Structure 1
């Protein structure tokens, strides 16, 4: 066992050296952001899927901290430390540990402590060019490390947002559907309920408490929730603060009072999210869905088509890739093109993944939106895939 662990460690170190050399040669500066990060910033940005798997603790001063569950947010914070006005382009690469709880128990390719080697590109105005640069560099890196057979899977968050903006639906449901996109089972349950005009959990104590908060501001809602918990002798426990509980109850109450979603709108969304094919075929299918629904997705589809033209010109076999309209990855900071590298059709254990996240820098302190795109390689999975090809 000890000999095997030593062999794996040496293999990962050699692999990391190869990956970082490719990144540095591509113009990316190697950095090492802190492993321990402020919990509030990380948890606000990574989304529900990863939030519940993050190791959070409180230090002796009472500050809530966490072990970084990925490196994109820490590297983004490092960029802002160097460029507080976010007014300069920068390219960083890294290799280091990240930490996540594994609900199905840890394994060799899904450990609690795992390594990510990756790149982040900030402040480059040519978004299409930067997207292609990152996709190509990561493909070059895994190929140089020894991976022979892999394929790309793509999605586009901005295209889904464009669909929602083009459809005639209440603004509340537009925002709600954007929020739930990252959790497909919850999204489809919500869409089905909205299409049927069903009220969300309209009975019971939660709905009753939510109703008492109608038209209250956040501060007053928190006060009422605190009084309720005290009267029922219910402790405040778990990862939710009093403010977050009040906010969710206000949201629930607003759901109860909102108008239903038109059934035909729900049908269009269902058709859209069922599309998965090659990128070119996907674009054609989405154009047909848009035409049938009487909406204009032309600008968004044109931008997507241009991006794949650029990838094809630079050596990516777009025809061998897949594009899934429901694919968005687990991290909720993504805002545009997303992708992952898969082997043998394995969608659950991607070798690498990444995408565009133009809104993240503003959320962690930048004065405005900053163009940003990046990707991380799961090095344990990469090593296992390479050894599996041998």
Structure 2
């Protein structure tokens, strides 16, 4: 029996110019495990065919919709799609089969305008489900990337901060350790091995650790491959051996990650920090302000948008604007709607050229009886 919200959702999709599609439920597993990160490996429903190729029940719609666009649209064309139906992944807080709906937009070069359109559609969809005044939480992975580029932090710290930002965890702990250049926590045990690897390219270092794990008979656990265990070891060894950052860069990083407020206030504060630290963040902040202007043009209350530099979303493919819609009556509950910009995903799926993309997902089961 169709969900009672489908009719209104389909009308919104048609009104907004998004074609309704229904990607196959059975999907190639490797794409999801490679692109959605380690967390998805633990949560996906996996199976294999007679030739041993792994498949999964679709745990998410974004990759299947992206593959649809890649296979059916001409290079460089714009595509706008809507979807609704079941997805399948293990959840501790609810059934592992649940209904999801959403929108994905590909190929638009006017990124700030496309971002604003996506947020406006998400707000309208939530309103149709009964959440008429959502709490809007927002971040921007592009600002974080630009900051890390400008500060030239060590690669191990770049990876660590970006990874924990996406998962909204351990960020305070990371920042506390960032300036600690003194070896600690058993770093001496790593020193000789790291010295032997010094000067090696990342692939060779990873292969050396993977070989040692194999010789020691250490088997993959928790769904991780030997290469993933090797990457994790190298990261932890580098952090423990004292790959610290000078105090000025630590202070700037802390200030930038502490910025929060409505988009206009946050932009002004970020520009002040960048100016004082002599960081060139003008391009990414100009795009940020342009997007805010498009928010206002679409009737979104800028004062109601809660931006935080330290706000991220769990999926690994986000590259810029990210957002969630929450029920202000239940601020600690999970997001009702979430999405953002993922400009690199199509290249990872095989596109020969860059394809800008932005989308959002709506968890219909989190709206309960409001539909």
TM-score tier, shorter chain, comes to 0.7 to 0.9
Q: How do 1:1-390 residues align onto structure 2 when only pairs under 5 Å count?
A: 13-83=3-73, 86-102=75-91, 105-107=92-94, 111-199=95-183, 202-203=186-187, 215=200, 218=203, 222=207, 225-226=210-211, 228-230=213-215, 232-252=216-236, 259-344=243-328, 346=331, 348-384=333-369, 386=370
Structure 2 match to 1:4: none
Question: Offset at 1:30?
Answer: 0.9
Tell me the distance in 2 between the aligned counterparts of 1:164 and 1:221: 24
In structure 1, how many angstroms separate the alpha carbons of the residues matched to 2:113 and 2:19?
A: 19
After TM superposition, the structure 1 stretch with the greater mean CA deviation from structure 2, 249-258 or 296-305, is 249-258
Alignment CA distance shift 1:97-1:339 (3 Å): same
Q: RMSD over aligned Cα, in angstroms?
A: 2.8
Q: Deviations over 1:332-390 (max 9, x none)?
A: 21111111111115254111111111111001111132110111111111234x37xxx
Structure 2: distance between partners of 1:129 and 1:234: 50
Check whether the contact 2:131–2:327 (CA below 8 A) recurs between aligned residues.
no
SS for the counterpart of 2:299 is: coil
Give the Cα–Cα distance (whole angstroms) in 1 for the partners of residues 184 and 88 of structure 2: 35
TM-score by length of 2: 0.88
Measure, in 2, the Cα distance between the counterparts of 1:156 and 1:298: 14
**Does the C-alpha gap of structure 1 residues 204 and 368 become closer, same or farther in structure 2, counting only changes over 3 Å?**
farther
Is the CA contact (8 Å cut-off) linking 1:222 and 1:242 kept in structure 2? Answer: no
Runs of 5+ unmatched residues, structure 2: none
CA separation of 1:86 and 1:208: change in aligned 2, threshold 3 A: farther
CA contact (8 A) 2:47 2:54 kept: yes
> Cα 1:155–1:235, aligned 2, differ >3 Å: closer, same or farther?
closer
Q: Per the alignment, in what secondary structure is the counterpart of residue 322 of structure 1?
A: strand
**Residue aligned with 1:25, SS:** helix
* 1:155 to partner: Cα distance: 1.1
1:6 maps to which residue?
none
DSSP-derived class of the 2:137 partner? strand
How far, CA to CA, are the matches of 1:161 and 1:77 in structure 2? 26
Structure 1, unaligned stretches of length 5 or more?
Answer: 1-9
Report the alpha carbon displacement of residue 185 of structure 1 after superposing the two structures with TM.
3.2
CA distance in structure 2 between the aligned counterparts of 1:280 and 1:274, rounded to whole angstroms:
15
Deviates further, 294-303 or 262-271: 294-303
SS at match of 2:179: helix
The Cα offsets for residues 304-347 of structure 1, whole Å up to 9 and x where unpaired, read as 11111111111111112211111111112111111111111525
CA 1:245–1:22 in 2, change beyond 3 Å: closer, same or farther? same
Normalization by structure 1: what TM-score?
0.84
Deviation at 1:58, TM superposition (A): 3.6
